[in-house]
Amino acid sequence: MDKLLEQVTAKANEWLDVFFDENTRNEVKALLSKDDKTGLIDAFYKDLEFGTGGLRGIMGAGSNRMNIYTVGMATQGMANYLNRNFRNLKQISVVVGYDCRNNSRLFAETVANIFSANGIKVYLFDDLRPTPEISFAIRHLGCQSGVNVTASHNPREYNGYKAYWDDGAQILAPHDTGIIDEVAGIKVQEVKFKGNPELIEIIGKEIDKLYLDAIEEVSIDPDLIKRNHDLCIVYTPLHGCGRVLIPAALRQWGFTNINCVPEQMIPDGNFPTVVSPNPENPEALSMALELARKLNADIVMASDPDADRLGVACRDEKGELVLLNGNQIAMILLYYIIVQYTKLGRMTGREFVVKTIVTTEVISRIAEKNNIEMFDCYTGFKWIAKVIAEESAKGKKYIGGGEESYGFLAQDFVRDKDAVSACALMAEIAAWAKENGMTLFDLLLDIYQKYGFSQECAVSVAKPGKSGADEIKAMMSHFRANPPKSLAGEKVVLIKDFKLLKQTDSDGKVTTLDMPESSNVLQYFTAAGDKISVRPSGTEPKIKFYMEAKLPMADRKDYLKVKAEALKKIEKFKKDLNI
């Protein structure tokens, strides 16, 4: 501990240099002067790193915090890497966007200035925009990279940025590690903060139109929407970027009864009306649900602050509004796409879908029974984007992909999860269900009856700071060294270790996992078809457990009974895993 404190103190003292502004120096002095050194250690024990979602951290002074200097050094490293990798291009260009968070505009302008100071042309959005539109703009404008300043669905104290490559996808190896290596050697004195205005071009509505026109093409049955244009929709952007384009996308598709939560249409990085701006949290949709009850709405939808995640609520068999989880949202979207493509004769036999390894296996069964090729990939939409690129290059057609964390992509002109197109498509599905005398919930029960029921539960155990990081490492080592022989009384028949890229069956037979690289993830599969996944978060100080309890559901009326049995099973999983 003494050595660590000595290291962070030395690092903190470097931030007292005149190259840092007065406010930063004062904040660092305050950390150094406190008797309790926890805050100092957390702020300086490491540098922010690229994870599954890019650069992300709590705002404040320090090498492990989001501020203009960590943003600056990361961007200078990116600029150096771009100039080296694309040195034969006459003009390298990037897109820069940002969300509603505190300091997002400041950080975006900092990023734009640094890129332009390094001779790189910048297309800077004039105001907050959804993450998927940044991906679209990179592809449309033929840029080599891009940055969106956002901390996605994280709490208000966070900010960050998602870094993109020329394909519009978040950066993968070797470029991610290449940039990290470049950043690691940069001193703040080397950052070119003074921008070149001649290389910064402001963009906005012209890209919005192109993006919305492309999204309109995602609609599978426009005539259906014409017949059901007055479907009662309630939507909330949770103070974020969705306000810019999601109501516009719904209108362009033909929906006319769109009701937005007025208090949450106001951009605000403090997110004053929610505890956390995450559509995965039921509390975040409480105001939207209240409005939906007043209006007797058919469907409720919410997007997170950068509008890449979609939350949905619909009416159950009793007419009560219930929330769908991310697995259910992905299942419904993929099921509709497959059913409608088949009905319309649009299937050619070359179609494929993608999900992440921690997402429900019901999707695997939907794909298998409909003879659709399905690919599993790591958590993080950049891995879905990698599969899209590789398989599309072979002449195959991507028709949809999703993950349990409320992300879905229904097209390939964007290479990140997209709540704008997902919202519009989910509204179309609600209209389809209504025209057929159903709700989305009825459709969900049909899927379970046809493909089998599963109940998912995700548990995140927060372990902040340096001590937390060490504890997470120890927990993963323990699970790896002591795999469970049974879970909830069900025998574990298969163990997948993605760090070692090995899987072991119940007979002890070891085979190799075919994945693009190793990842610190463990999975346990039981004889009953249950799946439990364990992984450290790539963007937050958490260790995550994804539990899926599989049970048969012969009849729709058995839903509540089967769900109750599955929830009991999940509680046993938690007990067995000591969480």
Residues 115 and 168 in one domain: yes
Question: What pLDDT score does 178 carry?
Answer: 86
Which stretches of 102-219 are DSSP H helices? 104-117, 131-141, 175-184, 205-216
Last residue of a domain, one of 403, 433, 451: 451
Residues 249 and 170 in one domain: no
Q: What is the DSSP string of 216-228?
A: HTT-S-HHHHHHT
Q: Per the domain annotation, does 413 fall within a domain? A: yes
Last residue of a domain, one of 432, 451, 470: 451
Residues 276 and 332 in one domain: yes
Residues 447 and 464 in one domain: no
Mean pLDDT of the chain: 95
Report the distance separating Cα 331 and Cα 221, nearest Å.
19
* 541-553: burial string, b at 16+ Cβ within 10 Å, e else: bbbbbbbbbbbeb
Q: Per the domain annotation, does 22 fall within a domain? A: no
Tell whether omega for the bond before 174 is within 30 degrees of 0, i.e. cis: yes
Residues 262 and 141 in one domain: no
Mean pLDDT, residues 98-114 taken together: 98
pLDDT digits (tens, 9 = 90+) for 440-459: 999 999 999 999 999 999 99
Between 480 and 380, the more confident residue is 480
Residues 180 and 220 in one domain: no
Q: Per the domain annotation, does 67 fall within a domain? A: yes
Please, which pLDDT band fits residue 466 given cuts at 50, 70 and 90?
confident
Report the distance separating Cα 319 and Cα 316, nearest Å.
5
| CA nearest neighbour of 426 among 337, 319, 316 | 337
Q: Per the domain annotation, does 76 fall within a domain? A: yes
Question: What pLDDT score does 183 carry?
Answer: 83
Beta bridge partners of 403: 407
Mean pLDDT, residues 83-95 taken together: 98
Under a CB-based contact definition with an 8 Å cutoff, are residues 233 and 299 in contact?
yes
Residues 327 and 363 in one domain: yes
Mean pLDDT, residues 451-473 taken together: 91
User: Phi and psi of 451, rounded to 5°?
Assistant: -115, 0
User: Phi and psi of 569, rounded to 5°?
Assistant: -65, -40
Question: What pLDDT score does 352 carry?
Answer: 98
pLDDT digits (tens, 9 = 90+) for 264-311: 999 999 999 999 999 999 999 999 999 999 999 999 999 999 999 999
Residues 426 and 523 in one domain: no
Q: What is the DSSP string of 5-41?
A: HHHHHHHHHHTTSTTS-HHHHHHHHHHHH-S--HHHH
For the chain, the first-to-last Cα distance in angstroms comes to: 28
Under a CB-based contact definition with an 8 Å cutoff, are residues 404 and 330 in contact?
yes
Under a CB-based contact definition with an 8 Å cutoff, are residues 285 and 301 in contact?
no
Residues 484 and 445 in one domain: no
CATH code for the domain in which residue 113 is found? 3.40.120.10
Check if 303 is active-site: no
Residues 318 and 195 in one domain: no
Q: Per the domain annotation, does 5 fall within a domain? A: no
Residue 481 belongs to what H/E stretch?
Answer: helix 465-481
Model pTM score: 0.94
Residues 493 and 542 in one domain: yes
Question: What pLDDT score does 47 carry?
Answer: 85
Q: Per the domain annotation, does 41 fall within a domain? A: no
Q: Per the domain annotation, does 25 fall within a domain? A: no
Please, which pLDDT band fits residue 539 given cuts at 50, 70 and 90?
low
Q: Residue 568 corresponds to which tokens in the numbers above?
A: 């009991």
pLDDT digits (tens, 9 = 90+) for 401-427: 999 999 999 999 999 999 999 999 999
pLDDT digits (tens, 9 = 90+) for 133-177: 999 999 999 999 999 999 999 999 999 999 999 999 999 888 988
Q: Which among 152, 421, 454, 533 is annotated as catalytic? A: 152
Last residue of a domain, one of 203, 238, 264: 203
pLDDT digits (tens, 9 = 90+) for 494-509: 999 999 999 999 999 9
CATH code for the domain in which residue 551 is found? 3.30.310
Q: Is the pLDDT of residue 238 over 90?
A: yes
Report the distance separating Cα 493 and Cα 359, nearest Å.
19
Number of domains in the chain: 3
The percentage of the chain sitting over the pLDDT mark of 70, rounded to a whole number, equals 99
pLDDT digits (tens, 9 = 90+) for 11-69: 999 999 999 999 999 999 999 999 999 999 999 998 887 655 678 999 999 999 999 99
Question: What pLDDT score does 465 carry?
Answer: 82
Residues 404 and 349 in one domain: yes
**Structural domain of 88:** 46-203
HSE of 66, CA atoms in CB hemisphere, 13 A: 27
Question: What pLDDT score does 541 carry?
Answer: 82
Report the distance separating Cα 452 and Cα 474, nearest Å.
36
Q: Per the domain annotation, does 292 fall within a domain? A: yes
Mean pLDDT, residues 328-356 taken together: 97
